[in-house]
Every structure is written in structure tokens, then in C-alpha cells.
Structure 1
Amino acid sequence: MDRIDLAIIGGTGVYRLAELDDVRSFDLETRFGAPSGPVRVGRLGDRSVAFLARHGEGHSVPPHRVNYRANLAALQQLGATRVLAMNTVGGITERFGPRVLACPDQLIDYTWGRISTICEEEGSEVLHVDFGEPYTESLRRMVLDAAKAAGVPLVDGGCYGATQGPRLETRAEIARMRRDGCDLVGMTGMPEAGLARELGLDYACLAIVANWAAGAGPQVDEVITLQDVLDNVEAASAHLPELLRGVLDRMNAG
């Protein structure tokens, strides 16, 4: 098994990486159970990339039922040390409209009832990891620099608010999140980021803005449809191959 240079977790609308060559599939079992689906490992240029669809390749796993621990453990089991998480999100503040790509630097966790630590089982070592900066800055910088070099517009920073789902939020909830300082809203940013820190994985988020959050856009009464979300994700993802190649090139240089 070759070294995995980068592991990618795909969110809603990103169920595979068509650009991968020589793809092999791994159906794994971890100490936390089974991940959301097979891990696809292939080549992007001369680098080895692992891909896992967070919700399953048929989008069958809702956000509160994702086995985040197993997903990350499966990638780590294959040798990954860096994880780039793609999260499909709603935009709250002005810079984060539909089809924007962003690399947030902060988050707020509004989820509940999810297993949020690898210390859950009796007898596990109790970890108190530092989480003041929830994303690995060196990996964030690689993503930002790669986007700049490739001419891919990418917003640097922003606060991701993680909600429970699977329903979308009310206008009042989004208004509260704006007051709290959130720029983006999604359903899968936590506990994934916290678990990555506990597992010692470098982790960054590439947020794909699929829609305005409730009451946040210029048309406050706009109804969000799944087709609109998928169309916007497809459009925003058009330059992902160049961006990912740039990230991998910077890993090589390091």
C-alpha cells in the first residue's frame, strides 16, 4: 500500500473524484465500526489520494448518523495523516453567497447527541486536546496558496456553525448564528474536526456554499431546493481538480 498523500472526505453533492486514476476500493472495519462506505484510493498526477463519501456514495447516511469516528479511523488505517474535508454549506454573511468556496478558520458546535470523542468507551484514555484553532493552519495555508496560484477564488477564513440537521434551519436560528459570529452553516463540521484533532490528523475544511441560509440572502423568502443545492455545488466544484493538484504540489515541496 502506497503512502496516502491526502485524504478527502466528500460532502453533499461530492460523492466521488472522477479525476482519480488507478482506483482501488477498500471496505474497512475499524475499532469504531464501519465507515460510511468504501474508501477509494487512486492517483492524482503522481500522488496517492484517498476519497470517502461522508454520507455514502448514494447519500444514504444523514448527518446525525454519520460514523465520524469510523470514517477518520479508516482513512488513518490506510496511512493518511492529512484530511481535507469538503463540506456543503449555507452562506450567512455577505462574502459567502452561493457557489463561493471558503476555507474557514473557526467553528461553533450546535450539534447534540453525537459521539464526539474517541474517549467514549470505558477504559479509554481521557484526552483534553487543544482546540482553540480547530483547523490545521499549515494545511489551510496549502489550500489557500494553491487556490491563489491556480486562480481559483477562495475566501480565507470565516466561522462555520455546525447544526444538527437533517432539516434546514429556521430564520430565527440563522439570525442567532449571525449574532454568534457564524458566516457559514452546515451539518457535518462537528464532531469531525474535533475527532481529527484527537486522532492526531491534520485537518482543514473546504466549504462549498450551496445556498443562502434561511433569511440570509437578498431574497429572504427564497425556498431552498435540493436541485438548486446540487447545481450550485457542481458549479462551485468545477475547479477542484486544479486546486487539489496545487495542494499536493505544496505537500511535495514541504
Structure 2
Amino acid sequence: MSGWTLGIIGGSGLYEIDGLEGTEEIAVETPWGAPSDKLVRGHIGDVSLVFLPRHGKGHRLTPSTVPYRANIDALKRLGCTDVLSISACGSLQEAYAPGDFVMPDQFIDRTVSRDNSFFGPGMVAHVSMADPICERLSAMAGDAAEAAGVKVHRGGTYLVIDGPQFSSRAESFLYRQWGCDIIGMTNMPEAKLAREAELPYATMAMVTDYDCWREETDAVSVTNVLEVMQKNANAAKQAIAGIVKTLQGVERTGSPQGIETCLDYAMITAPDARDPAMLAKLDAVAGRLLV
């Protein structure tokens, strides 16, 4: 194998990967509970892949009931080296049209009701989120999406809300004033947790609609979203195939941003003050530093 084990978190409309060989379904137990669903592990050529449907098969989980900590822990536990998030989003800018893909490089986290860290009392850590996206993985995913015939926007700010309701017009206008480009409900705390787990993470955000700021179009509805979502999901599958093709035969090296060692500079609790129970829960996420 090439050293790549790509974890893929499938968002709305993406519940499987085409072309996986040697597949097995794995029910992973984590200290943070069960992940959204069984994970599917397999390979395409010499690239290993692990797939997890974020909302569970059949879209059973709301954005705020997705077990984000369990999901990231499970991907780390199964040996993933990198994580690509696929997610649907709304557009806050005229140029980002339904059907376009966005490779954001920044997030604004407006969620308030979710567990957003693996660390806590007894083991405190502060990772940097200045640059939350793995530039290398994002570039490869963007190239693959363009090769699949999709219009791709490189960079942009993804505003994350709790949901499950869509935003009000007043909120939508406010987010545009903040300079946000797209809006969604799922990439936080997912990106924060991936960084704590030292996993290079990138988002392929698929625009399904204009958010309700655009008064000349109908306000966003599930009916409208589903139609675009199906087209986007097919393009996302082609893009995933393209990423895997790029990775074939390319030996994986560490992230140029040093993401795989970010905890070296993050953990602050003195060794003699660390809670053994908390350390046990961090066996997958931070095990390399806690042995």
C-alpha cells in the first residue's frame, strides 16, 4: 500500500463509495460512544479507504445529534491518515451557484450545543485552528472535482450553524456582512476534532441552494435541495475516484503543515496532574504522546 488511508465522511446524499474492493463493515466502539453508523473499509488499488455516512444510512441523525467525537475517534482508530469531509451547503454569495463545489479554507463556528473537544478537566490541550484545512488534501480534492467537470471555488469561509432549521433572512444578511461565502450545519466541531486527533482534514462543500438572502429566488427548502443534492453526489463520487487515482503509487509523507504533530505544542496539563480516566479515553486520539 502507498501509506494513504483516506477517511471519507459522506454528507447528505452520499452513502457509499463506488469501486471499493475487499470491503468490510466494521462496528467500532469508542470511548465517546458509537459512531454514526458502521464504517466501511476497503481499497482501490494501493489506496486504503474508510467510509462513514455522517448522518447514518437513511439520514437518521440531525446535524446536532451526529456523534462527532465518536466519528473522528473511529476514523483515527482504524488507521486513517487523512480525512475528507463531503457536505452540502447553502451559498451566501452570488458567484457560488447551486451545483458548484467549494473548497473552503476557513470556518466560523456558530454552533453552541455540541461537544467540541476530546480534551477536558484532567487533560487540557489547546490546538491551533488558525489554518483549519489541510492545504495539500484540499488542493487534490479540488483538482479531482474540476476534472469531474464541476465548477470549483478554491478558498472561502464556511459559516456553521446548529440547525436543523435554516437561517432567517436577517441572519443570512448578517453572515454576508461578515464576509462568509457558504453556510452549513456539519463541519464544526468536526474540523476541530480532526485537528485534535492530528488528522489532516479538508472539506468538499457542495452548493445546493442560495440561502434566503437572495430574495428574488424562493427560500431554501428540502425539496429544492434534494434535486441538486443528487447531481452533486454523483459528481462527488467521480471526484473521490479522481483523488484516489492521484494517490495511486504516491508514497504518503507528512502534511506540509505539520498537522500530524500538532499536539506536541498543545497539551498543557502537567503529567502528575493528568486524570488517568481521561487519558484512557484519549488512547486513539493522542496515544502517541500518552504512552
- TM-score under structure 2 normalisation? 0.80
Q: Tell whether the 8 Å contact from 1:160 to 1:184 is kept in structure 2 after alignment.
A: yes
CA displacement, residues 185-204 of structure 1 (integer Å, 9 cap, x when unaligned): 00011000011001100100
Q: Secondary structure at the match of 1:65?
A: coil
> Residue 5 of structure 1 contacts residue 248 of structure 1 at CA under 8 Å; is this kept in 2?
no
Q: Equivalent residue for 2:40?
A: 40
Post-superposition shift, 1:153? Answer: 2.5
Match for residue 191 of structure 1 among 173, 180, 189: 189
C-alpha separation between the residues in 1 aligned to 2:36 and 2:102? 25
Q: Which moved more, 1:239-248 or 1:95-104?
A: 239-248
Q: 1:72 to 1:36 in 2, by over 3 A?
A: same
Query: Does the CA contact (< 8 Å) of 1:174 and 1:216 recur in 2?
Result: no
Give the equivalent residue in structure 1 for 2:98: 98
Residue 161 of structure 2, aligned match among 160, 163, 185: 163
- 1: distance between equivalents of 2:45 and 2:226? 27
Tell me the distance in 1 between the aligned counterparts of 2:58 and 2:241. Answer: 26
Cα distance change of structure 1 residues 101 and 179 upon mapping to structure 2, 3 Å threshold: same
Q: Match of 1:10?
A: 10
1:237-248 alignment, distance < 5 Å: 237-248=233-244
- AA in 2 matched with 1:34: A
Residues 103 and 152 in structure 2, CA contact (< 8 A), matched pair in contact too = yes
Query: Structure 2, unaligned stretches of length 5 or more?
Result: 252-291
Out of 237, 250, 257, which is 1:253 matched to? 250
Deviations 1:74-125 (A, max 9, x none): 01111001000011111110222211111111110111021111113x322x
229-238 or 209-218: bigger deviation: 209-218
Is structure 2 residue 72 aligned with structure 1 residue 72?
Answer: yes
CA distance in 2, matches of 1:209, 1:203: 19
Counterpart secondary structure, 2:209:
strand
Higher-Rg structure is 2
SS in 1 for 2:234: coil
- In structure 1, list runs of 5 or more residues that go unmatched: none
SS in 2 for 1:237: helix
Shift of 1:226: 1.9
SS of structure 2 residue aligned to 1:246: helix
Q: Secondary structure at the match of 1:165?
A: coil
Give the number of equivalent residue pairs: 250
Given candidates 195, 201, 204, the residue that maps to 1:203 is 201
Q: For 1:212, which of 210, 213, 227 is the aligned residue?
A: 210
**Cα pair 1:5 1:49 within 8 Å, conserved:** yes
- Alpha carbons 2:41, 2:51 under 8 Å: kept: yes
Distance 1:227 1:196 in 2: 32
Q: Residue 51 in 1 paired to residue 51 in 2?
A: yes
Q: What is the percent sequence identity of the aligned residues?
A: 38
